[in-house]
Structure 1
């Protein structure tokens, strides 16, 4: 089940609202310029090459439709399963100079976005797709014991560059 928790930046201890219905999640994210949808997964595939083959037509179609010229398959190794959720460290907060589309193929985690005075934390799972505008500060935290494979699409190689952000140190989204 997908979930979205929305926090005020000055009150990060607990979310203002938590959404669990796909239509509500999509509407709330669209309000800040982020597109979210779910694409069908036939069955979970453990083999990386099988996943690549299965989704190659969708990736090619999205690249043509959206004008993306760069695709990158990202494998995030599993965090040790013995870690408690509060011990899991997220990647550093950063942004990219170009929009990006993320397609979650296996595993998942929490993608947190800093937009204005809000932090939006999306519990991502296989079949989730997110189109994040350029310059939105974000961070991803995987789940303990679970690797994550996703495809990242960008207009060009410039989108791969990271711009680090040092605010929000110590923010911990709900374990979603």
Structure 2
């Protein structure tokens, strides 16, 4: 189940609120400029489906978002617990960073934890199957796929180079809960 835990940055052990209804999550995140939606495939997506099949199943929603926001590139990332570089890949995203463009992810399967650091608050968003999150450009955040990653996500970019991070050097991510497997 998708969830949102909101913490004051000085209290990583005690969230101020925990939400599990998609409408409440979306409204709370919208108040800080973050888009959160639930999408449904227009065609079934079989386990092990390739990038083209996954994108085709969500083509209508992808095209709408690309048109609205000017994204120019779409791809699919898939990571399973048996990936030989899972620890290195996880570590790459665990430190607080920013991007010069929106970070848009739609979870086709599995789950991941996006943690956003906005002003004095930390928003831990557990995204699961059918969740779309769009983190605005410049927002400090980190992502945890867990020690045993298992997800398929559609990614949209306005930069054809794809994922480009600027790390903040702040160790805040190490003080907050990680994704439990």
1:174, CA displacement in angstroms?
A: 6.3
Give secondary structure in 1 for the equivalent of 2:58. helix
The corresponding residue for 2:113 is 110
Q: CA RMSD in A?
A: 2.4
Q: TM-score, normalised by structure 2?
A: 0.81
1:25, CA displacement in angstroms?
A: 0.7
The corresponding residue for 1:85 is none
d(CA) in 1 for partners of 2:18, 2:82:
26
**Compared CA separation, residues 175 and 164, structure 1 to 2 (3 A):** closer
Which of 63, 66, 73 is 1:63 aligned to? 66
Q: How many residues align?
A: 169
Instruction: Name structure 1 gaps, 5 residues minimum.
Output: 81-87
**Compared CA separation, residues 143 and 101, structure 1 to 2 (3 A):** same
Q: TM-score, normalised by structure 1?
A: 0.83
Alignment of 1:79-158 (within 5 A): 91-157=94-160
Q: Can you list the C-alpha shifts for 1:28-60, whole angstroms capped at 9, x where unaligned?
A: 101110010101146563123132332234323
1:159, CA displacement in angstroms?
A: 6.0
Q: Can you list the C-alpha shifts for 1:74-130, whole angstroms capped at 9, x where unaligned?
A: 2233279xxxxxxx8662221101113211111112110111111100111010011
The corresponding residue for 2:7 is 7
Instruction: Name structure 2 gaps, 5 residues minimum.
Output: 84-89
Matched-pair contact (CA < 8 Å) for 2:44–2:57 = no
